[in-house]
């Protein structure tokens, strides 16, 4: 355990895997093996899919460092130059996907050949003719140089389009290949020669089954991707090439692709169904994030740190009456990058800004506000390519409740639709109410209520259904939007002694004296409490309301009830019971209007039922105070 205050040494690592390897905690015990990592090591899956920050590159870095038993590891991360070469690569006679698959196949073949040239001597102590042929091919085509990937791709893309140097494999330039019926057919024949040369070398060395395979990994494709057809074709080509290489080289080569979920999910091609068995999506639960936080905390301060110390001594045990880890991880999207940022921000707020030796609840709340602002901005940047209009949708939810009905959202969207269409005319077809809901759900901004649960993207594969009408802003973004209450109900402000309330032309507010009036005053105040209990009973029966909305309504009605119960019997100190009844009745009426306007779970067991009870009790209180209009009867409301 580190000397001095633990908080001074506590650090949860870097947000990006590349820096976390060099100056962070990734390789010092800060990596948490998960299902995706185990599947990658075992070779059971070829596609590791996850959102930005979900840990794809961390798995890649861990595999590169020491993960799994492989004869060699090659990491391919296309830069913009390489990406541009692949995106614009075309061959007459082949569709775009197939043409771009050829250049990826060539890339895999070259990396496998470079591995074999070094591997044959180091691991097998011999270089058969097939390996010597690969060495000559690499030299003749400039693939042994230290040039950047983009520069080599530019040369050899032209080679595939015209002619590669294949003399190393006994194929003379121009012989037979010039007779190919099209540019695409000629490139395919050339590539077949190269791939067969690589496969022959693996066979002659006995690599298949003789030892572990070479691992070819492709990561950070999002750096060269845009939401354009040629970019999607580039990714589809990669998938087709990976499937082909895995089949051709068998157990000698293992292909592993790390793809962002939004990129993979945007693809549409005929053979897409053939990849489902190769997919594994990274999913993080609150429990897994807790384990990750503890592993990284231990990597920074020492292995003796316990969960009890972390969550009760360094962090406060609760925040806003919620267990601290639950509070933290509910307010970040379920991925390591967000968790690491939030945890580090809590530490920095306490240690660097306030100079404390432990994190307080106030530190967590301050960090939460800053973190929420970060994440709202980050979300729009994360999806800037696919949904450039995203940040312009956030004002629809500002300074309002975080529980939103479809009807309320329709009204807000229709008011903003003309402006959105003017700013983004190319996306007019997507900027409909249904399109906006799908996008906001897909990026994790909105969750949808299903039964008694609120489901966010990643927790359920089912998209938002037309009959689903209640949505929740993710807790991560609520503070930045000023949407910290489920339903922004107006707070009850009680009447005070000396106030006057005019109702129906009659002035109320005179303080009565005398025993008979005091007894009447007591009874009137008791009726306020009776009405509150009636409303609370109806709220309890409103099972169609989400728990957050029920809690919000209950909290406001309890404020009314608490205020009524706080008045001493007999009117000492002086109170205005009639004014108090009218104030409560007016509040109940306005509250009913707000609930009806919200459109949440509108029905007898939802807001409509509560609103009717509020209106009934408001009329009853006015009648009791002598200012009734349009009401009769004296119902307790139970």
Give the pLDDT score at 447.
95
Per the domain annotation, does 417 fall within a domain?
yes
Contact 108, 255 (CB under 8 A): yes
C-alpha 638/C-alpha 619 separation (Å) is: 16
Q: d(Cα 491, Cα 561) in Å, to the nearest integer?
A: 13
Domain that includes residue 559, residue range: 501-624
Task: Write down which residue in 382, 408, 430 finishes a domain.
Answer: 382
Are 156 and 272 found together in one domain?
Answer: yes
Is residue 263 pLDDT above 70, yes or no?
yes
Per-residue pLDDT at 507 exceeds 70: no
Percent of the chain surpassing pLDDT 70: 88
**Residue 231 within a domain:** yes
Same domain, 258 and 300: no
24 or 91: which carries more pLDDT confidence? 91
Mean pLDDT throughout 448-457? 90
Contact 477, 372 (CB under 8 A): yes
Considering the domain architecture, whether residues 120 and 257 belong to the same structural domain is answered as yes
Do the domain assignments include residue 26? no
**Domain identity same for 545 and 619:** yes
Is residue 132 domain-shared with residue 266, that is, in the same domain?
yes
Instruction: Indicate whether 326 and 185 sit together in one domain.
Output: no
pLDDT at 414: 95
- Whether residue 88 is contained in a domain is answered as yes
Same domain (yes/no): 168, 46: yes
Q: Identify whether residues 164 and 302 lie together within a single domain.
A: no
Domain boundary among 382, 401, 421: 382
Q: Helix, strand, coil % (nearest 5) of the chain? A: 60, 10, 35
Q: Are 468 and 545 in contact (CB under 8 A)?
A: no
What's the pLDDT band for 476 if we cut at 50, 70, 90? very high
Q: What would the pLDDT profile of 430-443 be if each residue is shown by its tens digit? A: 999 999 999 999 99
13 vs 345, which has greater pLDDT? 345
Per-residue pLDDT, 242: 94
Question: Which range among 183-192, 237-246, 309-318, 571-580 shows the weakest confidence by mean pLDDT?
Answer: 571-580
User: Which pLDDT score is estimated for 67?
Assistant: 58
Identify the band that residue 513 occupies on the pLDDT scale cut at 50, 70 and 90. very low
Using the 8-state DSSP alphabet, how is residue 545 labeled? S
Domain count, the chain: 4
Average pLDDT over residues 137-147: 80
What is the H or E stretch that residue 116 is in?
A: helix 96-119
Residues 6+ apart with CB under 8 A from 254: 43, 70, 213, 214, 215, 216, 246
Residue 569: per-residue pLDDT: 53
Cα distance between residue 563 and residue 580, in whole Å: 10
Does residue 293 register a pLDDT over 80? yes
Q: What is the CATH number of the domain that holds 346?
A: 1.10.8
Do residues 358 and 276 both lie within one domain? Answer: no
The whole-number average pLDDT for the span 312-316 is 96
Mean pLDDT, all residues of the chain:
85
Question: Does a structural domain hold residue 487?
Answer: no
* pLDDT-wise least confident of 55-59, 318-322, 498-502, 545-549: 498-502
What is residue 573's predicted lDDT score, i.e. its pLDDT?
47
């Amino acid at each position: 355990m580190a000397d001095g205050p633990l908080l001074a040494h506590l650090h949860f690592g870097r947000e990006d895997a590349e820096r976390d390897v060099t100056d962070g905690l990734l390789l010092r015990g800060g990596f948490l093996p998960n299902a995706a990592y185990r599947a990658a090591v075992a070779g059971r899956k070829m596609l590791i899919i996850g959102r930005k920050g979900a840990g794809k590159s961390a798995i890649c870095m861990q595999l590169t460092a020491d993960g799994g038993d492989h004869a060699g590891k090659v990491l391919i991360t296309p830069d913009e130059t390489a990406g541009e070469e692949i995106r614009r690569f075309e061959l007459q006679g082949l569709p775009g996907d197939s043409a771009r698959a050829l250049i990826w196949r060539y890339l895999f073949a070259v990396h496998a050949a470079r591995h074999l040239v070094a591997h044959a001597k180091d691991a097998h102590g011999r270089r058969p003719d097939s390996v010597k042929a690969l060495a000559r091919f690499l030299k003749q085509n400039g693939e042994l140089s230290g040039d950047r990937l983009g520069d080599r791709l530019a040369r050899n893309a032209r080679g595939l389009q015209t002619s590669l140097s294949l003399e190393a494999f006994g194929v003379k330039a121009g012989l037979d290949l010039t007779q190919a019926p099209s540019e695409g057919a000629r490139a395919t024949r050339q590539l077949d020669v190269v791939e067969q040369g690589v496969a022959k070398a693996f066979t002659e060395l006995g690599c298949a089954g003789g030892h572990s395979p070479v691992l070819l990994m492709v990561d950070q494709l999002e750096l060269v991707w845009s939401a354009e057809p040629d970019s999607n074709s580039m990714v589809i080509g990669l998938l087709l090439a990976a499937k082909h290489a895995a089949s051709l080289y068998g157990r000698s080569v293992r292909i592993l692709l790390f793809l962002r979920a939004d990129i993979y999910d945007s693809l549409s091609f005929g053979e897409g169904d053939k990849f489902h068995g190769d997919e594994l999506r990274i999913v993080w639960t609150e429990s897994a994030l807790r384990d990750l936080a503890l592993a990284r905390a231990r990597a920074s301060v020492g292995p003796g740190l316990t969960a009890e110390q972390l969550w009760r001594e360094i962090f406060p045990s609760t925040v806003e009456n919620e267990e601290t880890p639950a509070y933290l991880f509910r307010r970040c999207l379920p991925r390591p990058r967000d968790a690491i940022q939030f945890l580090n921000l809590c530490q920095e707020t306490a240690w660097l800004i306030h100079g404390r030796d432990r994190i307080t609840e106030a530190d967590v709340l301050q960090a939460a506000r800053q973190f929420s602002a970060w994440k709202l901005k980050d979300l729009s940047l994360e999806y800037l390519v696919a949904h450039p209009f995203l940040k312009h949708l956030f004002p629809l939810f500002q300074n309002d409740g975080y529980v939103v009905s479809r009807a309320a959202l329709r009204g807000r969207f229709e008011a903003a639709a003309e402006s959105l269409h003017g700013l983004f005319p190319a996306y007019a077809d997507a900027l409909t109410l249904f399109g906006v809901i799908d996008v906001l759900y897909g990026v994790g901004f909105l969750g949808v209520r299903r039964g008694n649960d609120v489901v966010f993207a990643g927790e359920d594969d089912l998209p938002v259904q037309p009959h689903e009408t209640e949505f929740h802003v993710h807790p991560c973004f609520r503070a930045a939007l000023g949407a910290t209450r489920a339903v922004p109900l107006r707070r009850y402000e009680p009447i005070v002694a000396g106030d006057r309330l005019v109702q129906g032309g009659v002035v109320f507010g005179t303080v009565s004296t005398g025993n008979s009036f005091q007894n009447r005053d007591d009874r009137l105040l008791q009726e306020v409490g009776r009405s509150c209990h009636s409303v609370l009973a109806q709220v309890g029966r409103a099972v169609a309301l989400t728990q957050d909305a029920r809690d919000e309504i209950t909290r406001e009605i309890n404020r009314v009830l608490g205020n009524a119960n706080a008045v001493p019997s007999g009117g000492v100190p002086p109170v205005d019971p009639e004014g108090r009844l009218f104030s409560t009745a007016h509040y109940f009426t306005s509250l009913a209007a707000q609930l009806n306007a919200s459109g949440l779970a509108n029905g007898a067991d939802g807001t409509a039922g509560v609103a009717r009870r509020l209106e009934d009790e408001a009329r009853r209180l006015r009648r009791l105070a002598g200012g009734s209009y349009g009401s009769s009867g004296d119902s307790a409301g139970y």
